[in-house]
Amino acid sequence: MAKLSVEDLDLQGKRVFLRADLNVPLADGGVADDTRLRAVLPTLEHCLKAGARVILASHLGRPKGKPDPKYSLAPVAKRLEELLGQPVPLAPDCVGEAVETQARSLEPGRLLLLENLRFHPEEEANDGAFAQALARLADCYVNDAFAAAHRAHASIEAITRYLSPPAAGLLMRRELAALGRILERPERPLVAILGGAKVSDKLTLVQSLLDKVDALLVGGGMAFTFLAALGHGVGRSLVEPERIELARRAMAQANRRGVHIGLPVDTVVADSPQSGEGRAVGVREIPGHLMGLDIGPLTLARFTQALSGAKTVVWNGPMGVFERSPFARGTLGLARAVVACGAFSVVGGGDTVAAVNQAGVARKIGYVSTAGGAFIEFLEGRTLPGVAALAERS
């Protein structure tokens, strides 16, 4: 993964097409969470200080291939102005003569933010002509959007056929280094933690990780499909019946490889996620009319013990409905345990990142990934189009 870096490029006076992930949540006409904007600042500032003229591009939301004011990047431009301390003009579109004129007139050390790439259906179609139109705006290409690198879209993959050499931004480089450390040269023991709602979203990841990890801890809604595979009654907890046999096979695979799979031994149950309180019960004693919404204290203690001595930890997915205080203790407690074990830790996925922030330990995590789907696909061992398209460092 020795990819060409933006630091390897001579940027003075060059127009740089910088593909970033500015897909941030909006509220009341402004940016509700600027984490992703802050993540791209090092690359932006490097380019501007090097005298580049930056053409900044991103998608926002799912506007279904046509202009929609609700998904305009105008709030992003405003917040970036505040973060950078310089004007961030927003182009009226991302392609076309007017935008090309704006791009050509940029002064060194200045930037232009393109309007939402997904206002054009050709972006998601990885259309060559659209990619050429984007490429006409710049002299070189830098991709800092690891979170979108699993998508073969025009601004991520096709554009690299027309702007050469395609280089990695500083955030992209950090993501690849952190995840590569897990896949290629992990310090052992390596412990993976998986949570979230559905087994179907992560079954491929489970199977892939079983070839790499020394232990796998499973919590969240997905754990109940595994518990059902062991013959436990799980009440009204989330179960995917069509995945029970696959979960059973995964556990058999772990047994053959000598990999410990840690499952909940108790859970916090309630009528629904909206309940004002819950109570912990053993997984063999879940009442039929209730559902499990968090790992219980015994499970938290066992998972904490399983982390002791770990040298590398990778975590994706919360242990329960942590957004609700009655069901947050397991996830937040595990976040603190990950930090306390002293291992090199990598956390990815929006909910998991939100959890480590809520627990107040984000700054003590080894690496917090901005990616969700790309994070999972990379750990599964898949080739990400946006990474494969980058030039190798010679």
Q: List, by residue number, the catalytic residues.
A: 36, 198, 350, 373
- 3 state DSSP class of 213: coil
What residues form DSSP beta bridges with 194? 218, 316
Query: Which amino acid would we find at residue 17?
Result: F
> Contact 31/72 with Cβ under 8 angstroms?
no
| Residue 344, amino acid | F
What is the DSSP-derived secondary structure letter of residue 3?
Answer: B
Size of the chain, expressed as the number of residues it contains: 394
Tokens of 366: 């080894």
Q: Which two tokens stand for residue 102?
A: 């704006």
Q: Quick one: tokens of 127?
A: 């259309």
C-alpha distances out from residue 161 to 141, 332, 385, Å: 10, 45, 13
Structural contact between residues 296 and 329, judged by C-beta atoms closer than 8 angstroms: no
- Pick from 101, 83, 82, 105: nearest CA to 92: 101
178 Cβ neighbours under 8 A, 6+ residues apart: 346, 366, 367, 369
Peptide bond into 297 cis (omega under 30): no
What is the phi/psi pair of residue 263, to 5°?
-120, 160
Give CA–CA dist 183/181, Å, rounded.
6
> 189: cis peptide before it, omega within 30°?
yes
What is the rounded distance in angstroms from the CA atom of residue 116 to the CA atom of residue 365? Answer: 32
Tell me how far apart the alpha carbons of residues 40 and 326 are, in angstroms, rounded to a whole number.
Answer: 35
Among candidates 342, 339, 380, 372, which has minimal Cα distance to 354? 372
Three-state DSSP state, 238: coil
> Token match 């989330």: residue?
238
- Give the residues across from 19 on adjacent strands: 57, 143
